[in-house]
Structure 1
Amino acid sequence: MKINGSLVELKEAQTLYDYLISQSYDLAVIAVERNGEIVPKAAYKEVLLQDEDTMEIVRFVGGG
């Protein structure tokens, strides 16, 4: 699987939610694009990650 341009090996089948939590992402301030489509936060627990997935995980940053 490729995440933010880096290859990541999944050790076991897991959902997007499980992966994000295991990597300490703050779900309130991120957005996830998987294979070219934005994943709604409500679907994180339903999306099963695959080795061929390409994801971009972005964090919102405030400014002013």
Structure 2
Amino acid sequence: MLPESITEELKVHLQSVKILHQQDLQKGYGSVYLPFALERKYPRAKYDWIWQFVFPSGSISKDPRS
């Protein structure tokens, strides 16, 4: 549950994060690590917006498992 006072600000923030995610995908980044069974069942899920962080890092990092 979030305070109503931050709802609009959070929506604006999430929209900017979504745009950043789309830009990262165009550059070949933006995917996430998913457990094997989930990745096998949904091979493109690792690129979906729903798996992204609400507050992403300011720099690109490589997952050591990839």
Q: Same fold (TM over 0.5)?
A: no
Structure with more contact order per residue of length (Cα contacts < 8 Å, sep ≥ 6): 1
User: Bigger radius of gyration, 1 or 2?
Assistant: 2
Higher helix share: 2
Provide the TM-score with structure 2 as the length reference: 0.27
Higher strand share: 1
Provide the TM-score with structure 1 as the length reference: 0.27
